[in-house]
Chains A and B, each alone.
Chain A
Amino acid sequence: MEFGLSQEQTMLADNVGRYLTDRVDLERIRRFAEDGDDADLWQGLAELGIPALLVPESAGGVGLACLDAALVAEALGYHAAPAPFLGTAVAAPIALAGLPAAEALLADVAAGSARVGLAIGEAAGARADAGVTARDGALTGKALFVTDYPADHYLVADRDGGLHLVAAAAAGVSHRPLTTVDRTRPTGELTLKGVRAEPVSDDPAVLGRLLDVTRVMLAADTLGAAQAMLDKAVAYAKEREQFNRPIATFQAVKHMCAEMAADIEPCRAMVWYAAHALDHLPEEAQVTACHTKAHLAEVGKFVAKTATEVHGGMGFTDLLGLHYWFKRIGYNRQLLGTPEHLREEAARAQQLTA
C-alpha cells in the first residue's frame, strides 16, 4: 500500500519545477502576454521530455502515466507558465496513440516540434451556435475556446461523440484567436466548412476518456496555481506591516490563510487519486475526474479571491502580477465543464437520476 509519489515522480516534479523557477518569472509571463511567443520555453520543456511523457515508448515517447502528467500540469499551474500542454502533450498522445495515420505527427509532438490544439469544448455543453457536425466524412461547424492555439493540428469533437484530427492548413478551415482573461493560455476559434479530416474514433467512450484525462490535468493546474497563491499570500503577510506589526499576526489574516490551506491540502491527494484512477481504476475514472475538476474549481475560486485579499490593494494591481494566477484558475474552471455541469455528469454516471 502506497498512496503517494514514487521517487521518480518526485524527481520529475522537482526537475520541471526547477526549470520553471529558473525560466518563468513575472517578466517572462508578461512578455508572453504581449507577444505570445513560448518557443524557447517549449523547447526547454521538450529537452526535459515533457511533450513525450505520455507518448508510448513504441512511438518514440517516454510512455509515462497520467499521474506523471498531472504533476507536470501542477508545476505549470504553480508557475503560471505558458506551454501548449493540454492539447499537445496530453490530449494528442491519449487520442492518437496507435493510429497509423498519426504516427509521424506523434513523433513530432514527442520532439516538441508539432502542436495539437484541443477543440472538444462543445462536448461539455455547446453554447450559442457552436458545435461541429460530421457528415459523409466532412466536418462543418464551429469550435470555440480551442486550446494550444495556434496549432498545426486540432483534435475536434463532433456532435455525436466522434473525434477527428484536422490539419490547420486543410481546405475549409479558418481560425482566429479569441482573447480570454487568461493571457498565459492562448485560445482560438475554428470554423470548419466541409473539412476532410482524419477520423480518430466514432466511439463516444474515447471522447469521454479524453475529457476525463484533460479535466484532471486542468484540476492539477488549478492545484498548482492555488498553492502558488497561498504561498505568495503567506509570504506577503509575514513581510507587510500595519499597526506596527506584520499583518500575519492578525488573526483575521491567519484564518484566511488557514482556510486556504485546509481546503487545498486534501486537493493534492484528490488530484493524485483521480490521475491514478485514469490509468488503473477504469470504473471510477469518470466520476472521480468530474468530482476532482469540480472540487478544484470551487477551492481554486475561493483561494484566488482570498489570496488576493490578503495582499490588499497590491493584490488588485497589475504591478504584483497576482492576477495571472487568479485568471489561470478562472480559465481552468470554465473550460471543459463548469462545476455544475461536472457534478450533474457525476450524478448521471452513478445512475443517481432517471
Chain B
Amino acid sequence: MDLSYGPEYEAFRQEVRDFIEANRDRAPKGAGLRDPATLEWQKLLIENGYAARTIPREYGGYGAEPDILKSRIIAEEFARGQLSQGLGGQGISMLVPTLLEMGTEEQKRQFIAPTLRGEMVWCQGYSEPGAGSDLASLSTSAKLDGDEWVVNGQKIWTSTAHLADWIFCLVRTEPDAPKHQGISFLLFRMDTPGIEIRPLVDMTGAANFNEVFFTDVRVPKDQIVGARGQGWAVANAILGHERDSLGNPDATLSRLNALIELMRHETIDGVPVIEHPVYRDRLMKLQGRVLAMRCNDLRVLSSRVNGTGGTGLARLINKLQGTELRHELEGFAVDVMGEIGLAYGDNPYLRGHGSWQNQYMYFLGLIIGGGTSQIQKNIISERGLGMPREPKIQKG
C-alpha cells in the first residue's frame, strides 16, 4: 500500500491548482450547451490539457500520453475547486472514444474536433419501445437504396435529442441475421428530413429525453461506423465507458459532506438534526458505505495504473452500488428535512436550491438508465461469479 502519488504528480497537481486559481473567473456560471462562455471555457481547457487530454492533436485534442493518475488529479482538483471540467455529454463521453477505436480516418477528422469543441452536439439513439434491456432486439430498420441508407422506426428515451445536431444510432440492416449480428451503427444529422422529435417529460419535471421517429430518413452510405452488421460490437465498446462513469464515488463524497452541513443547519424544534441519534446513525451508515466505495474505487484505479489484475468484480459492481448508494443518500437528505423535504419548484422553503429532491429522483433515472440494477445483477452473477445464463424460452 502506497497512497501517495509521488513528487512528479504532486508537482503536476500544483500546476492544476495554479491554473484553476488563475482562471477561475473565466469559468462559465451556468451549464448552457451552446453558451459562448461555455465554449470559450472548453477551448481554454483543451489548450491547457485539462479536457480532451489524451485525444491526438490532429483530431483536436491536447495529445498527451495517457496517464491515469494525471487525469485523476485533474478531476480531483476541478472537483475541489468546484469548477466545471468542461463539456460532457454523450458525444464526448461515448462517441469520441468509439470513433477513436473503430472509426475511419475520415470520420475521426470530420467528427471528433467539432464534438470536443462543443460545436457538434450528439444524442444516443439506442433504446426503442420494444428494445430496452434487451437492446439487441431493436427493430428500427435501415435498407440500402443506391448510395443511401433509408431509416424507418422509432427510438425512445433519447436524451438531448431536441438539442442535438447529430445522432449515433443503432439500426437493423440485416433482418435475416441472428439478432446480435444484424445491427449497424449509423451517424446522421438530426435535421435530416423524416425525423420527428417529441419530448418526454421525466419525473423531475424536466423534458430531457424524447421519442424520435424516423420516416424514410436518408443517410449517406459511408456514415456507418465499423462494418455492416458489426454495430453491436461497436456499441458495446462504449457501454463499458458509460458504466465506468456512473455513480462516481468522489461526487458521492461531496454530496455526503453537503448532507452533513445540511444536518448541522436543519433543526427540529430548535435542535439540529445531527443531534438526533437516529438520524445521526443513518448518516454514519451512509458514511461507512461511501468509504467502502471510495476504497473500492482506489483499488480499481491502482490496478489500472499499475496494470495489475484481479479487480474484475470490483469494477462490475460499480454501476449497481454507486447509483443505488447515491439515490439512497439523496433520499435520506429528503427525510432529514421532514415536510420541508417536499418543497419543490418555486417553493420559498427550498434547501440547497431543491437539489436534494431533484437528485433523489434523477438518480432513480440513473439506476434504470445504462442497464438497470437487475441487468447489472445478471452481469455480476454471470461474468463475475460464473453462474449460468437462464435457459432460453422457445417461442411458438
Query: Which A residues fall within an 8 A CB radius of B?
Result: 1-6, 67, 234, 237-238, 245-246, 248-251, 254-255, 257-259, 261-263, 265-270, 272-273, 276, 280, 288, 291-292, 294-295, 298, 339-340, 343-344, 346-347, 352-354
- Complex alpha-carbon distance, A352 and B259, angstroms: 12
Are B281 and A343 within 8 A (Cβ)? yes
| CB-CB nearest in chain A for B299 | A269
Let me know if B253 is at the binding interface, CB within 8 A.
no
A199 to chain B, nearest CB (A): 34
In the complex, identify which listed stretch (B140-148, B167-175, B305-313) lies at the interface while the others stay far away.
B305-313
Interface residue from B3, B292, B320, B391 paired with A1 (Cβ < 8 Å): B3
Which residues of chain B have C-beta atoms less than 8 A from A298's C-beta? 285
Q: How many residue pairs bridge A and B at CB < 8 Å? A: 157
Which residues of chain B have C-beta atoms less than 8 A from A262's C-beta? 317, 320-321, 377, 380
Please classify the interface of chain B as helix (H, G, I), strand (E, B), loop, or mixed, using the class held by over half of its residues: helix
Which residues of chain B have C-beta atoms less than 8 A from A292's C-beta? 288, 291
B158 to chain A, nearest CB (A): 29
Which residues of chain A have C-beta atoms less than 8 A from B382's C-beta? 254
Interface residue from B284, B314, B320 paired with A269 (Cβ < 8 Å): B314
Are B305 and A1 within 8 A (Cβ)? yes
Which residues of chain A have C-beta atoms less than 8 A from B288's C-beta? 291-292, 294-295, 343, 346
Let me know if B93 is at the binding interface, CB within 8 A.
no
Are A1 and B284 within 8 A (Cβ)? no
Query: Which B residues fall within an 8 A CB radius of A?
Result: 1-6, 9, 69, 260, 274-275, 277, 280-281, 283-285, 287-289, 291-293, 295-296, 298-299, 301-303, 305-306, 308, 313-314, 317, 320-321, 374, 376-378, 380-382, 384-391
- Using A3-B3, A258-B380, A265-B317 as known contacts, say yes or no to A273 and B287 having CB atoms under 8 A apart: no
- Using A4-B302, A265-B313 as known contacts, say yes or no to A346 and B284 having CB atoms under 8 A apart: yes
Which residues of chain B have C-beta atoms less than 8 A from A237's C-beta? 387
Are B374 and A352 within 8 A (Cβ)? no
Are A347 and B283 within 8 A (Cβ)? yes
| CB-CB nearest in chain A for B277 | A344
Which residues of chain A have C-beta atoms less than 8 A from B9's C-beta? 1
Are A269 and B280 within 8 A (Cβ)? no
- Using A1-B302, A273-B295, A347-B280 as known contacts, say yes or no to A266 and B321 having CB atoms under 8 A apart: yes
- Using A1-B302, A4-B1, A261-B380 as known contacts, say yes or no to A295 and B260 having CB atoms under 8 A apart: no
Which residues of chain B have C-beta atoms less than 8 A from A268's C-beta? 299, 314
A339 to chain B, nearest CB (A): 8
Are B388 and A246 within 8 A (Cβ)? yes
- Complex alpha-carbon distance, A258 and B5, angstroms: 33
Interface residue from A4, A234, A249, A255 paired with B391 (Cβ < 8 Å): A249
Are A2 and B1 within 8 A (Cβ)? yes
B309 to chain A, nearest CB (A): 10
Are B274 and A4 within 8 A (Cβ)? no
- Using A266-B314, A294-B288 as known contacts, say yes or no to A238 and B387 having CB atoms under 8 A apart: yes
Which residues of chain A have C-beta atoms less than 8 A from B308's C-beta? 4
Which residues of chain A have C-beta atoms less than 8 A from B321's C-beta? 262-263, 266
- Complex alpha-carbon distance, A317 and B292, angstroms: 33
- Complex alpha-carbon distance, A273 and B291, angstroms: 10
Which residues of chain B have C-beta atoms less than 8 A from A339's C-beta? 285
Are B275 and A344 within 8 A (Cβ)? no
Are A352 and B274 within 8 A (Cβ)? yes
Which residues of chain A have C-beta atoms less than 8 A from B275's C-beta? 353-354
Which residues of chain A have C-beta atoms less than 8 A from B2's C-beta? 1-2
Which residues of chain A have C-beta atoms less than 8 A from B317's C-beta? 261-262, 265-266
A217 to chain B, nearest CB (A): 17
Interface residue from A2, A255, A295 paired with B377 (Cβ < 8 Å): A255
30 CB < 8 A contacts A-B:
A2-B306, A3-B298, A4-B1, A4-B302, A4-B303, A6-B1, A234-B387, A246-B388, A248-B388, A255-B374, A255-B378, A257-B385, A258-B377, A261-B313, A261-B381, A265-B313, A268-B314, A269-B298, A269-B299, A280-B3, A288-B291, A292-B288, A294-B285, A295-B292, A339-B285, A343-B288, A344-B284, A346-B287, A352-B260, A354-B275
